[in-house]
């Protein structure tokens, strides 16, 4: 992952665009080199990903997946989303192959995006755009709905790579 850990979301609605930007920059260094103003880029992505969705409701899983896919399609990979039902196997396999995975978390409703950028033993390393840091979370805590160090306890959805070659 490039050194985008210093990037923070600019407001309470740009966690999804920030996660999409960091993932795309990690997978497409040419794109990453063009991001000279992360705050402006977050708002550009937010507008592009939410053409029919109210921006005050954040960014949809399909919007995050579509933006990342624009930068991975030349690599033969598209991103798609799925509801989280307790299975982290595909997410762990992806990050072990250097494909970041976006995870939508919340309490009663989905509220915040984080980016899984690594896996080490029983832990996941998650970039949290609210703080601009990578936080280590035990895999068991994701399944047990104990994600409070990321701001909310529960995972709702994953945005994962899918081969299309």
121: in domain: yes
CA distance 138 to 124: 6
DSSP state of 142: H
Cβ contact 152:105 at 8 Å: yes
Span 23-42, average pLDDT: 94
2: in domain: no
* Predicted pLDDT at 10: 94
The first and second tokens of residue 144, run together, are: 């047990």
Structure confidence at residue 38 as a pLDDT band (50, 70, 90): very high
CA distance 123 to 125: 7
Query: What's the pLDDT tens digit per position in 70-111?
Result: 999 999 999 999 999 999 999 999 999 999 999 999 999 999
Task: Calculate the average pLDDT of the chain.
Answer: 93
SS3 117: strand
5: in domain: no
* Predicted pLDDT at 2: 52
Q: Structural domain of residue 128, as residue ranges? A: 15-163
123: in domain: yes
Decide if pLDDT at 66 tops 60.
Answer: yes
Number of domains in the chain: 1
CA distance 21 to 68: 8
Q: Is pTM, for the whole model, over 0.85?
A: yes
Q: What is the CATH number of the domain that holds 92?
A: 3.90.70.10
64: in domain: yes
1: in domain: no
42: in domain: yes
73: in domain: yes
């Amino acid at each position: 992952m490039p050194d985008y850990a210093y990037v923070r979301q600019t407001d309470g609605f740009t966690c999804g665009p920030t996660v999409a930007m960091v993932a795309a920059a990690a997978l497409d260094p040419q794109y990453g080199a063009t991001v000279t103003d992360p705050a402006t880029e977050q708002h550009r992505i937010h507008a592009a990903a939410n053409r029919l969705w109210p921006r005050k409701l954040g960014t949809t899983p399909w919007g995050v997946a579509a933006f990342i896919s624009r930068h991975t399609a030349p690599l033969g990979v598209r991103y798609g989303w799925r509801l989280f039902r307790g299975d982290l196997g595909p997410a762990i396999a992806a990050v072990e192959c250097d494909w970041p995975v976006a995870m939508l978390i919340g309490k009663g409703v989905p509220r915040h995006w984080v980016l899984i950028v690594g896996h080490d033993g029983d832990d996941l390393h998650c970039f949290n755009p609210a703080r601009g840091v990578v936080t280590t979370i035990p895999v068991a805590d994701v399944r047990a709905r104990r994600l409070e160090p990321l701001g909310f306890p529960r995972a709702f959805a994953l945005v994962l790579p899918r081969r299309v070659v």
